[in-house]
Amino acid sequence: MALLPAIFLIASAFVTSAISGVFGMAGGLMLKGALALVLPVSATFVAHGILQLVANGWRAILHRKHLDWRIVAVFAMGSVVAGGIMALIAVEPSKATLYLLMGVVPALLWIPQGWISLDAAQPRQALLCGVSVTGLNLTAGVAGPLLDIFFVRTALTRHQIVATKAGTQVFSHLAKIVVYGAPLIAVHGQGLPPFWVFALAIPLSMVGTVVGGRVLEMMDDRNFKRISRWIVTVTGLVYLVGAAQLYLAG
């Protein structure tokens, strides 16, 4: 990998982890797009999974006193089911389709609350959350807006939402690493960034998470939800434009 793309990925890991530290999902969506600019599609799933696993895991640790372990445990069971199914299907989207899926996913945030009645605090719905979110993560590479739908009606505070969502996403990203990483490892990590890129990006993503957590302390619950929705939506629109360009280019 050339030096400039490597620096770009390392910087992206820090910036997007900071954003996720504040809003709990927008950073992952942005990071996936950044990776898709410089890596093959299958490699983006693995690299994104590794970096987001660390970022989410560290965020869950930092906010562990706010974490709802019961939701995380049930989500993990659903994640295992989805991972097993997707490993058998083994579908890898084209780059244009990847951008299209990433652009469409944010539209889930605009579904009227009256149309849905989902609550991750309910065990059955937490299981459904694990299956659906992990399944979408293994298809589009991101699933933050879908995950958010399961937390809209919960009675959790912004700290509990960020912490619990981070805990659930640990398992979702683990699934990506396993499902997409195994074939790449078989061909000696073809397309993946070199080890030194991860060695620098991982600690920087942890620092970014700490920075984001401090910004979170300065927000209130209302602004937290409103701003995160608009950031994700604008990011999705950018991806839709990118998808259209790729499809038109053939």
Per-residue HEC secondary structure of 126-169 comes to HHHHHHHHHHHHHHHCCCHHHHHHCCCCCCCCHHHHHHHHHHHH
Q: Tens of pLDDT along 41-60?
A: 888 988 999 988 988 898 89
pTM confidence score: 0.84
**With the C-alpha atoms ordered 57, 2, 243, 250, is the resulting torsion angle positive or negative?**
negative
Tens-digit pLDDT profile for residues 171-186: 999 998 988 887 776 5
Least confident of 9-13, 54-58, 200-204, 212-216: 212-216
Tell me which of 85 and 191 has the higher pLDDT: 85
Q: Find the largest Cα–Cα distance for the chain.
A: 50
Give the Cα-Cα-Cα angle 77, 82, 83 (nearest 5 degrees).
95
Cβ neighbours of 196 (radius 10 Å): 11
Compute the distance between CA of residue 182 and CA of residue 52 in angstroms, rounded to an integer. Answer: 18
Is the pLDDT at 170 greater than 70? The verdict is yes
Is 24's pLDDT higher than 70? no
Q: How far is CA 143 from CA 90, 103, 104, 140, 200, in A?
A: 18, 11, 11, 7, 26
The stretch 214-240 carries a mean pLDDT of 80
**Which helix (H) or strand (E) element contains residue 192?**
none
Residue identified by tokens 């939800």 is 225
Among residues of the chain, what percentage have pLDDT more than 70? 93
Q: What is the pLDDT of residues 101-121, one digit of tens each?
A: 889 988 887 887 677 778 898
Q: Which token pair is 124? A: 């059955």
From 33-42, 72-81, 139-148, the region with the lowest mean pLDDT = 139-148
Q: What backbone phi and psi angles, to 5 degrees, belong to 69? A: -65, -30
CB hemisphere CA count around 34 (13 angstroms): 22
| CA separation, residue 194 to residues 5, 68, 186 (Å) | 11, 36, 16
3-state SS, residue 100? helix
Distance of alpha carbon 63 from alpha carbon 69, whole angstroms: 12
Phi/psi of residue 82, nearest 5 degrees: -65, -40
Q: What is the mean pLDDT of the chain?
A: 86
